[in-house]
Amino acid sequence: MNRWEKLSRIPAPHFAPKFGPLTGMRVLLSGTVVAAPFAAQLLADFGAELIQIEFPKIGDAYRYQSPQLFKEDGEGQTSAAWAQGARNRMSFTLNTNMSIPEAKEIFFCLIKQVDVWLENMVWLKKLGIELKDLWEVNPKLIIGHSSGFGRPQFGGNEETCDRPSYDPIGQAESGFMSINGDPEPEPPRYAASFVNDYLTATFLFGGICAAYINVLNGGMGQEVDMAQVEAFARVLDDQWISHIEAGVLKKRAGNRVPIFQPASLHQAGDGRWCFIGAFGKSVYYRAIEGLGLDPEYFKWEEAGNSFEAVWSDKGKELYEETNKWFAARPAQEAQEHMNKYKIPVGIVRNIKEIYEDPHWHDRKNFVKYHDQTLDREVEAFGFVPKFSQTPGNAWRGAPRLGQDTSTIMKELLGYSEEEVNSLKGKNIID
């Protein structure tokens, strides 16, 4: 009899406190930067008990990203990304060579104890693990895949599905990068800060929650497959039907919306940058009034309501008038003036400015917790969205490598102290 067959399921949470709408869910993460771990963190921030598999003595590459944070005594360090992105999880070190019987046995025992397994390394193919084996161990297991181009069993060319990818590759191959940047002949522009990875993770988070509801309603486990390219392709939205049905292909337009205005970035008199947005006829005319312009001359149909209007002579004139208006006053004054007309204006702000704004603190967007690696308190960004009855919580900071291996082996998987020490001696766990 396999060890997992003798293992009794221990309800979650066993290690984490009860909080949030997802309390009762247990998640196993074997993926590394960025999409699968961020999806896992979203689950954990709202109550799921999260165990991350890391390779012994090496760990997640996210630990080593720049910039690094240091312990107060200067002896230990970890990345700011790890301190922010790895809270609310337990670190379990395991040699992931599934040809080692003891390693495979431990992995299957973990599968028995979780509701969700998240991976972004296409483990099933690489390690020779069959889906039927996993669902034999745990018929209600939800398997979340994150990759550049998707898994071939959901369709698609196998060679394409097997291609490696990072965030910018997903941006390029999804169509997203083609519409970002200044008009031709300028090059397309990469959107910084791994937005493709984070969007992929957010879609995966939603898919996992939907699959989990299905299980709670009596359904069986299933795969949830999320491709980077499809995440950005989905948010291109009506561009697909516009091309397919009308032959319209959107082009880059720089820092402005090409199909209505005012909707553009302008430099204020103090050098700050502001974006104004006015979509719809009534909002347009409020903006015209706020800009001090003649609504009879700058008619919505002729200057603001379509691609043709925006790029007409009168539309170009309206853009220049908007440019002059912002240049004549400081950014804060421009924003406050337009607020009187209920016209959205955003001032481009950096992280320092946002952190110093009391509004963000009043919204409880920053949380403090004890980082396990640094052994000190850190302050990081908190929980999105906000819940009125079951809010998120940071019950622990990012773990040290292998911090929880022995505890999980003994309390969750039923291994004895002697067995744990023996497996450590064989470098299967650490």
- Cα–Cα distances (Å) from 104 to 9, 96, 140, 322, in that order, read 18, 8, 20, 64
In the numeric block, the tokens 């946002």 are attached to 354
Amino acid 125: pLDDT: 66
Domain 3-234+364-425 class, CATH top level: alpha beta
Amino acid 76: pLDDT: 78
Cα–Cα dist 107/110, whole Å: 5
Surface-to-core class of residue 217, CB atoms within 10 Å of its CB (0-12 exposed, 13-18 middle, 19+ buried): exposed
Amino acid 122: pLDDT: 60
Residue 228: alpha-carbon gap to chain centroid: 11
| Contact predicate 398/89, CB 8 Å | yes
Using alpha carbons only, give the angle 32, 35, 36 rounded to the nearest 5 degrees. Answer: 60
Block means of pLDDT (10 residues each) for the chain, 430 residues, are 94 99 98 92 99 96 94 87 97 94 96 96 70 95 96 93 94 97 96 95 99 99 98 96 96 95 98 98 98 98 97 98 99 99 98 98 98 96 98 98 99 98 97
Cα–Cα dist 111/131, whole Å: 12
The tokens for 39 are 């999806």
At residue 362, the 3 state secondary structure works out as: helix
Cα–Cα dist 148/267, whole Å: 37
| Contact predicate 167/197, CB 8 Å | yes
296 CB contacts (<8 Å, ≥6 apart)? none
At residue 270, the 3 state secondary structure works out as: coil
Residues of the chain with CATH 3.40.50.10540: 3-234+364-425
Amino acid 124: pLDDT: 66
Amino acid 123: pLDDT: 60
